[in-house]
Amino acid sequence: MNILDKITLDKRKEVALRKDLIPISQLEQSVLFERETVSLANNLRHSKSGIIAEHKRRSPSKSVINNGLNVQDVAVGYATAGVCGMSVLTDGKYFGGSLDDLLTARASCDLPLLRKEFIIDEYQILEAKANGADVVLLIAAILTRKEIKQFSELAKNLNLDVLLEVHNEEELQKSLMPSLDMLGVNNRNLKTFEVSLEISKALSKLIPDDFVKVSESGISSVEAIKELQPYGYQGFLIGENFMKTDNPGLSAKQFIKDLEA
């Protein structure tokens, strides 16, 4: 069983428990449920840098990245730096995140927020909306085509953007549908954890231009972005690179400055 299978298995148990604790009717009564969302896809289309900066405490591949920072400081720093959006990990067991992190980020900035989560149930999309997200992530590797359709259509009905993540051509082919806004190519092989930008390059020509192309994982330099831009990528998800520093906002600001120089 690879790490993704393990996470998904745990996630099913976790979501079942949460559904018992907080009914959907309660989620729908949240103040944030009525909030007007901000489109990350639109931001990326009109940006020179395309940076989506992440809040991530730890990961299965790197263990602890940064446990010492509070989400509010990171969110304010990213907003000041001028990133296009912020990704907030809400998985507790493997990444040390929570929905509270999403709520805190929402209270701290006006950036489009992506709930970075392993979504296996419609309930999590309603949770995302109730906790101030603007975008949800769907991972093709853990979902059937039917689920991708069902989940993305629900997200669109809630005015949430959808970022669909793929790792290979097979996942891409089963996933293409009009209810997606962005297609993310994860450069990390989730079985081996090896990272290669060649994955983004190879899949770029198979992604129709109606979708905003996003490259994820292993982007730690301005050079990497400049290498990917000619392949049509407009979004770049950067987590560890900023989070491993003492001041992620400042790192992001310098990064964007170097990129746009």
Q: What confidence score (pLDDT) does residue 66 get?
A: 87
**Domain range for 144:** 3-260
Q: What confidence score (pLDDT) does residue 220 get?
A: 92
Q: What confidence score (pLDDT) does residue 109 get?
A: 98
Q: What confidence score (pLDDT) does residue 67 get?
A: 87
Catalytic-role residue among 43, 49, 54, 251: 54
Residuewise pLDDT in 10s, the chain (261 residues): 788 899 999 999 999 999 999 999 999 999 999 999 999 999 999 999 999 999 999 988 778 888 889 999 999 999 999 999 999 999 999 999 999 999 999 999 999 999 999 999 999 999 999 999 999 999 999 999 999 999 999 999 999 999 999 999 999 999 999 999 999 999 988 767 789 999 999 999 999 999 999 999 989 999 999 999 999 999 999 988 999 999 999 999 999 999 998
Q: What confidence score (pLDDT) does residue 62 get?
A: 75
* 54 labelled catalytic: yes
* 153 labelled catalytic: no
CATH code for the domain in which residue 214 is found: 3.20.20.70
- Secondary structure of the chain in the HEC alphabet? CCHHHHHHHHHHHHHHHHHHHCCHHHHHCCHHHHCCCCCHHHHHHCCCCCEEEEECCEECCCEECCCCCCHHHHHHHHHHHCCCEEEEECCCCCCCCCHHHHHHHHHHCCCCEEEECCCCCHHHHHHHHHCCCCEEEEEHHHCCHHHHHHHHHHHHHCCCEEEEEECCHHHHHHHCCCCCCEEEEECECCCCCCECCHHHHHHHCCCCCCCEEEEECCCCCHHHHHHHHHHCEEEEEECHHHHCCCCHHHHHHHHHHHHHC
* 217 labelled catalytic: yes
- Secondary structure of 35-58 in the HEC alphabet? CCCCCHHHHHHCCCCCEEEEECCE
Nearest to 54 by CA among 252, 259, 238: 238
Catalytic-role residue among 14, 49, 66, 116: 116
* 216 labelled catalytic: yes
Please work out, in degrees rounded to the nearest 5, the angle formed at the alpha carbon of residue 17 by the alpha carbons of 14 and 22: 120
* 194 labelled catalytic: no
Catalytic-role residue among 217, 241, 251, 253: 217
* 191 labelled catalytic: no
Q: Strand 233-238 to strand 135-139: parallel, antiparallel, or no bridges (unpaired)?
A: unpaired
Our count of domains for the chain comes to 1
Q: What confidence score (pLDDT) does residue 2 get?
A: 84
How far, CA to CA in Å, does 98 sit from each of 7, 61, 174, 222? 15, 19, 30, 30
* 227 labelled catalytic: no
> For the chain, how big is the Rg over CA atoms in Å?
17
Q: What confidence score (pLDDT) does residue 65 get?
A: 87
Catalytic-role residue among 11, 43, 49, 56: 56
